[in-house]
Amino acid sequence: MKVYTKTPINIFNKYLSSRYAHKFKKRGFQIRSHAAHARQREHSCFRNSYKYIALASALLPLMVQARPVSYPGGWTAMQMHSKDETSLHVHYSPTARYSVGGKAIHFSEDDMTFSGVQLNNLVKRWNMPDAQANVYLKSGVGVLTNEDEQNAAAFTGIAADIEDRRYFASYENRVFEGGDMDASFKQSARLGFAPYVAEFGGLHTWLMLQVDHAPEDADTIEATPLVRFFKGSSLLEVGNNLNGGMTINFIQRF
């Protein structure tokens, strides 16, 4: 049976194709189906998702280290012990930009204790493909006491670090003012490297060297080799000051 194709609709469609095809071509228009657009959007979403997952997997082990600001809603307990002082800092991070909490420091040589509140601010963060760098401002206010007296006290300082999954470097300082009882300045720097790159969720190990400078102390410059271990949300550092005295630091994020 002969099929008659010259219907008004077919004739009209053929006319439109011949009449306007050159305009579509000139303007770079391409005719695509809705299904093709949907597939393109789906593939784009998958590519972006893989990119973000890869970036997060590379940076997450760096984000759970000894930093004064945690993830939004996170609690952190930081216990530090060295030859000169022992401290405890428990803080809460309402956002990823700052944290606030209680701070206690015992100064061994002068047998004094600071008790107060500490505020930590993330000043700047650089997220690179395989590394991260941060600058923090850490400040506190409270009371300094010993057996005989007490005085209002405050401190402030900056902390900066940069690291990837193999190398680490950091610097921090602190200006402490306690009136007639104490006024001091100290700074420290660290260099470290990981002898192996652990898988996500595995045990990470770092070998580090910390150098401290305190102009008011008898030993102005001190060096402490130490080892850092961290797994999940727990971090432990163990070292020994070359002038004598253990360094033990423990951090737990909740």
pLDDT digit string (tens) for the chain, length 254 residues: 444 444 444 444 454 445 444 444 444 444 344 444 445 554 444 454 444 444 444 444 444 556 899 999 999 999 999 989 999 999 999 999 999 999 999 999 889 999 999 999 999 999 999 899 999 999 999 999 998 899 999 999 999 999 999 999 999 999 999 998 989 999 999 999 999 999 888 999 999 999 999 998 877 899 999 999 999 999 999 999 998 889 999 999 98
Amino acid at 229: F
> Whole-angstrom distance between the N-terminal and C-terminal Cα of the chain?
79
Sequence-distant (≥ 6) Cβ neighbours of residue 240 within 8 angstroms: 224, 225, 226, 246, 247
Its pTM stands at 0.74
- Report the distance separating Cα 207 and Cα 59, nearest Å: 19
Q: Are 252 and 234 in contact (CB under 8 A)?
A: yes
In terms of CATH, what superfamily is 64-253? monomeric porin ompg (2.40.160.40)
Q: Which two tokens stand for residue 198?
A: 């652990």
- Reference 168, options 188, 149, 193, 139; nearest CA is 193
Q: Which two tokens stand for residue 222?
A: 């001190």
Q: What is the pLDDT at residue 244? A: 86
Sequence-distant (≥ 6) Cβ neighbours of residue 216 within 8 angstroms: 184, 185
Q: What is the pLDDT at residue 253? A: 93
Q: What is the pLDDT at residue 231? A: 92
8 to 5, 13, 16, 71: CA distances (angstroms): 9, 9, 12, 67
3-class DSSP state for residue 192?
strand
Q: Are 72 and 95 in contact (CB under 8 A)?
A: yes
What 8-state DSSP symbol labels residue 57? H
Q: What is the pLDDT at residue 23? A: 44
Tokens 């006024």 belong to 183
DSSP code string of 90-123: EEEESSSSEEEEEEEEEETTTTEEEEEEEEEEEE
For residue range 215-240, list pLDDT tens digits in order.
Answer: 988 778 999 999 999 999 999 999 99
Q: Are 85 and 216 in contact (CB under 8 A)?
A: no
Tokens 């439109």 belong to 16
- Report the distance separating Cα 15 and Cα 51, nearest Å: 47
What are the start and end residues of each CATH 2.40.160.40 domain in the chain?
64-253
Q: What is the pLDDT at residue 9? A: 41
- Report the distance separating Cα 43 and Cα 49, nearest Å: 10
Sequence-distant (≥ 6) Cβ neighbours of residue 27 within 8 angstroms: none
**Beta bridge mates, 231:** 234
